[in-house]
């Protein structure tokens, strides 16, 4: 019997061991018990709960949209909004509560987005000029990531230019796989806001800190990011509920730059900078291939090439030290790394097509990757909670709410004209 069980896939074993799941569901002041077959979906669970809530009273039924956990587990809470997902993933959760919609201003259309339309749940991250929050839209009850950029950081036109560039890239890439989905942009009194899809898998950097990836896992992620992204680093790559990657933060990317054009701007992360960027001699798209190589090096070894705790040492090593790749890596992989990380731009790989045709990636089914059909065994298992709770005090800080009420005068630039992006679709 034991031998037979070991031969089963994890999903088959769960379904064999458990025929049904039992949930305690709390709907306002009432509790109901739900039994559901293990092979059912989240949508079918919600349907069952709504049927039972109808038997209680209109108060318990009306406005019920989703379910959520008691402890604010953002991964499970997001999963509970995905009605086509299988229920067996919730086998370790026994108690849930109802999520009820709150009606917005009747005169407000779905295209008129306001900061007051959202409930702030937790801080997902904090940057130099922006904070990212997990929010729930009060009426639709959907979860989003809200990136808030304070207008006080836009006194320099350059920062606003970066912001508008990021907005344009996200809009232009709206149908591109593995790019973060921008639902809309809107302005509040003190902030400019990006309403983004929430990717509950968290930063790839978080997973790299926990363990080095295998070559097959590295290949799975690397094959998804063969697109131009000048500030590529694991902190700018987030995972969705299925383990696929999505690129974020395009403030430093160049728009419409072809392979022959040169730039001398000094931007990006030191660990991923090509030697010609450091030398400020002007560079073209070949730096992206170096950056991809540095990223791949970190995936398969756990660290970027030439890494040191001292930034000055990193920069010196990139410029002067010979690249040494660990011998334990696959020969085809080492060959690709040397081609991507060559110090001389003219000797580097010159196209994404060339990378795709490399021996190390010869077994990748690019159609399956683009359509997110890669077998589940290669996907990262999503932990139940992965965000940094040291940022939680930002949610509890009442100043955040106060500053949204303050009228902020920004006379230099008409931001609303430049920034607002009224959504063309009913996103809620």
- pLDDT in the model for residue 153: 74
- pLDDT in the model for residue 58: 94
Whole-number Å distance between alpha carbons of 382 and 262:
41
- pLDDT in the model for residue 156: 62
- pLDDT digit string, tens, across residues 298-326: 999 988 898 888 989 999 999 899 999 99
- pLDDT in the model for residue 178: 81
Whole-number Å distance between alpha carbons of 201 and 265:
33
Residue 138 labelled as part of a binding site:
no
- pLDDT in the model for residue 283: 65
- From the candidates 77, 117, 231, 240, which is the catalytic residue? 231
Whole-number Å distance between alpha carbons of 239 and 246:
6
Q: List, run by run, the mean pLDDT of 10-residue segments along the chain (428 residues).
A: 37 59 95 94 97 95 95 90 92 93 72 85 81 91 92 71 80 78 85 89 78 84 67 70 79 41 50 83 76 91 89 90 92 96 91 91 86 60 44 44 35 38 42
Q: Report all structural domains of the chain as residue ranges with CATH numbers, in order of start.
A: 20-100 (3.10.20.90), 115-197 (3.30.200.20), 206-371 (1.10.510.10)
Which residue do the tokens 């989703």 mark?
66
Task: Mark whether 231 is an active-site residue.
Answer: yes
């Amino acid at each position: 019997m034991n031998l037979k069980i070991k031969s089963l896939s994890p999903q088959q074993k769960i379904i064999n061991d458990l025929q049904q799941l039992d949930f305690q569901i709390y709907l306002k002041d009432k509790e109901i018990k739900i039994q559901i077959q293990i092979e059912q979906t989240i949508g079918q669970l919600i349907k069952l709960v709504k049927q039972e809530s109808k038997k209680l009273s209109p108060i318990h039924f009306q406005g019920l949209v989703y379910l959520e956990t008691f402890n604010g587990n953002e991964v499970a809470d997001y999963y509970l909004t995905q009605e086509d997902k299988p229920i067996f993933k919730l086998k370790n959760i026994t108690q849930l509560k109802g999520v009820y919609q709150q009606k917005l201003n009747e005169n407000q259309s779905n295209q008129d987005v306001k900061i007051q339309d959202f409930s702030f749940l937790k801080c997902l991250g904090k940057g130099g000029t922006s904070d990212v929050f997990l929010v729930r839209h009060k009426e639709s009850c959907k979860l989003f990531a809200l990136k808030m950029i304070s207008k006080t950081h836009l006194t320099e036109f350059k920062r606003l230019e970066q912001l508008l560039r990021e907005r344009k890239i996200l809009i232009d890439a709206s149908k591109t796989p593995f790019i973060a989905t921008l639902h809309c942009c809107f302005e509040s009194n003190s902030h400019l806001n990006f309403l983004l899809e929430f990717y509950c898998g968290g930063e790839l950097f978080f997973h790299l800190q926990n363990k080095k990836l295998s070559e097959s896992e590295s290949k799975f992620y690397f094959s998804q990011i063969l697109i131009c992204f000048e500030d590529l680093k694991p902190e700018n790559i987030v995972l969705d509920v299925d383990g696929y990657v999505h690129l974020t933060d395009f403030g430093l990317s160049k728009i419409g730059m072809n392979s022959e054009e040169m730039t001398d701007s000094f931007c990006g992360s030191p660990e991923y900078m090509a030697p010609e960027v450091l030398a400020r001699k002007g560079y073209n798209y070949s730096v992206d291939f170096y950056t991809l190589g540095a990223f791949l090096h970190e995936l398969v070894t756990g660290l970027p090439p030439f890494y040191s705790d001292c930034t000055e040492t990193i920069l010196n090593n990139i410029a002067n030290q010979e690249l040494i790749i660990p011998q334990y890596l696959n020969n085809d992989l080492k060959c690709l790394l040397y081609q991507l990380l060559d110090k001389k731009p003219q000797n580097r790989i010159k196209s994404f097509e060339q990378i795709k045709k490399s021996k190390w990636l010869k077994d990748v089914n690019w159609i399956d990757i683009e359509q997110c059909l890669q077998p589940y065994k290669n996907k990262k298992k999503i932990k139940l909670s992965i965000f940094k709770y040291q940022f939680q005090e930002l949610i509890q800080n009442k100043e955040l709410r106060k500053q949204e009420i303050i009228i902020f005068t920004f006379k230099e630039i008409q931001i609303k004209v430049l920034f607002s992006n009224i959504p063309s679709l009913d996103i809620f």
